[in-house]
Amino acid sequence: MIEILEHTSSSYGPRTYANAHNSDVTIALAVDYTTAGERLTHKAAGDKYLRLDLEESWKDNARLLWHWIYPYTDGRVVNVAGNGIYTLNRARISQKAVNNYVFQMLEIVHQHAPIDKIISGGQTGVDIAGGWAAVKIGIDCVLTLPKGFKQRGVDGIDRDHTREEILQQLYEG
């Protein structure tokens, strides 16, 4: 089941806090942890924050995530957050590459400690990669985007989308 939700606020902050609050762990996959979004995610997640550097192998990050979620047995909800494509692009990481990285990492974790749900903010880059991986693996997923289904493009400009356009991103990858 895939849910694409539109937050009542057009700002990124409220849905960041909601996603962190509704998960067992927020994984932050990034190459730059100094961005405003990454600092906000860390603050919102508090002690449920797991930093997973995209410059490390997906296997090493899968091990770290597995150790974090393995003790949860009543449901494993993972909030996937991280750099947008505008930041990843500067590090020469494409959407396709981050999709594959997140998929490989979550797929192996899911095989050994089943994930019940993926939550994400639905942004370009890591967020949408989390949703794409959930679709590909068959994990329930909830993406909550700012009002207008806002996403920031590779050029750093925010654009509104439709629910159908977000779904298309998930199924086309």
Q: What is the DSSP letter of 147?
A: T
Report, as an integer, the average pLDDT of 134-140.
96
Domains of the chain, residue spans: 2-172
Res. 171 pLDDT band, cuts 50 70 90: confident
Res. 72 pLDDT band, cuts 50 70 90: confident
Worst-scoring range by mean pLDDT, 44-48, 68-72, 146-150?
Answer: 68-72
E-state strands within the chain: 2-6, 25-30, 49-53, 77-82, 117-120, 140-145, 151-152, 158-159
Res. 73 pLDDT band, cuts 50 70 90: low
d(CA 143, CA 128): 8
Report, as an integer, the average pLDDT of 16-41.
94
Specify the pTM. Answer: 0.93
d(CA 89, CA 168): 21
Give the tens place of pLDDT for each residue, 102-128. Answer: 999 999 999 999 999 999 998 899 999
Q: Which pairs with CB-CB distance under 8 Å and at least 24 residues apart come from 120-123?
A: 120/19, 120/79, 120/80, 120/81, 120/144, 121/12, 121/15, 121/16, 121/19, 121/81, 121/145, 122/4, 122/149, 122/151, 122/166, 123/12, 123/37, 123/84, 123/151, 123/152
State residue 41 phi and psi, 5-degree precision. -60, -45
Per-residue pLDDT for 136 more than 90? yes
CATH number (3.40.50, 3.40.5, 3.30.70, 1.10.3470) of 2-172 reads 3.40.50
**At 166, which helix (H) or strand (E)?**
helix 163-172
